[in-house]
Amino acid sequence: MNIFITGGAGYIGSHTVLEALRRNHRVFVFDSLERGYREALDRVQTLANRQIIFIQGDLRNREDIADALKDTKPEIVIHFAAYKSVSEGEKEPEKYYRSNVEATVILMEEMIKQNIRKIIFSSSAATYGILDRMPITEQSPTNPISVYGKTKLEMEKVINSFTKDYGLEAVAFRYFNAVGADESGEIGEDPRHTTNLIPLVMHTLVGKREKVYLFGDKFDTADGTQERDYIHVSDLATAHLDAAEKSFNRGEMMILNLSTGQKTSCLEIFRLAQEISGKTLNYEVVGPRQGDPVTLYADNSKAKYILGWKPRRDIKKSIQDQWRWTSKYPNGYSY
């Protein structure tokens, strides 16, 4: 199959490119490289012993994406390209609406022109906002609180409306917290553009940061710290390829949570990271962040049922793989 991957030089994208090559698909990667890395793609090609075709372009520029789709004529688009920082989105909302929402409208219009009939889209748990009832299911209400979460929900709506109007096949995956790295330790999340807990913990353990902040330890949870549902990036990649290889009803966007269904506390992460690395973590407890949910975890039974997929790696394996990547490449991709 010819698969076109926007944002394929980024964290989740590069792991998905690797999985697609391992399954013998032909892969075109479209990425601006603003927050992605050629080095990641070089390593992916070495790991898979297969080549991709790389097109450098910006989704906000219609010509870039129009030419790329015309030249490559893929059967499927997997759409990762977006900005993903909650804090940056609050400071620069226009940038987020333009790069996430408007760019998706351009992508969909150009897909229609080239008669490309299937899209798999990276949505996010951030579309749900703060909910009282756990686990979150796909029927839970969506009330995103951040600009980032709002843009992800808008992106879903854009794709849904094109899907209905043009009878496309579409899947929107709402990922929970992506973690880990390919087992080889050769690719992973570059530290430059992440504010996620586990990469920050790893960076502190390799001596690149002084400490990690723990935002509150008096919550109403088993150990007083916040709980999240961490899903291994290679399990996310597998789900994308399972969906690419499956047929879906035309005209109906399928929404699927990608999660483990398990919650892990911040202190448990610290404990595992210290055990795996053999190092002591320096952390400081500070006040809770406003609008930050205490506990988030999701029911993944719909994805399991629809795709025949399941997460194969638990939190310990995720931290082991993330530690391998960080200790091998403490500066991420060459800089």
Instruction: Enumerate binding residues for ligand NAD (CB under 6 A).
Output: 7, 9-13, 31-36, 58-60, 80-82, 84, 99, 103, 122, 124, 175, 177-178, 193
Least distance CB 33 / ligand NAD (angstroms): 5
For residue 244, give every residue at least 6 positions away whose Cβ sits within 8 Å of its Cβ, in sequence order, or none.
1, 3, 20, 25, 76, 78, 118, 120
Of 37, 96, 148, 329, which one is the catalytic site residue? 148
- Which CB, 50 or 60, lies closer to ligand NAD? 60
Least distance CB 113 / ligand NAD (angstroms): 18
* Residue 289, token pair as written in the block: 């962040």
Sign of torsion over alpha carbons 222, 126, 160, 64: negative
Q: Are 41 and 15 in contact (CB under 8 A)?
A: no
Question: How far, in whole angstroms, is CA 323 from its chain's centroid?
Answer: 19
For residue 46, the one-letter residue type is T
Least distance CB 34 / ligand NAD (angstroms): 4
Q: Is-catalytic flag, 148?
A: yes
Beta-bridge mates of residue 2: 26
Least distance CB 218 / ligand NAD (angstroms): 26
Counts of helices then strands in the chain (DSSP H, E): 12, 13
- Which CB, 28 or 175, lies closer to ligand NAD? 175
Q: Are 9 and 40 in contact (CB under 8 A)?
A: yes
Residues catalogued as catalytic: 148
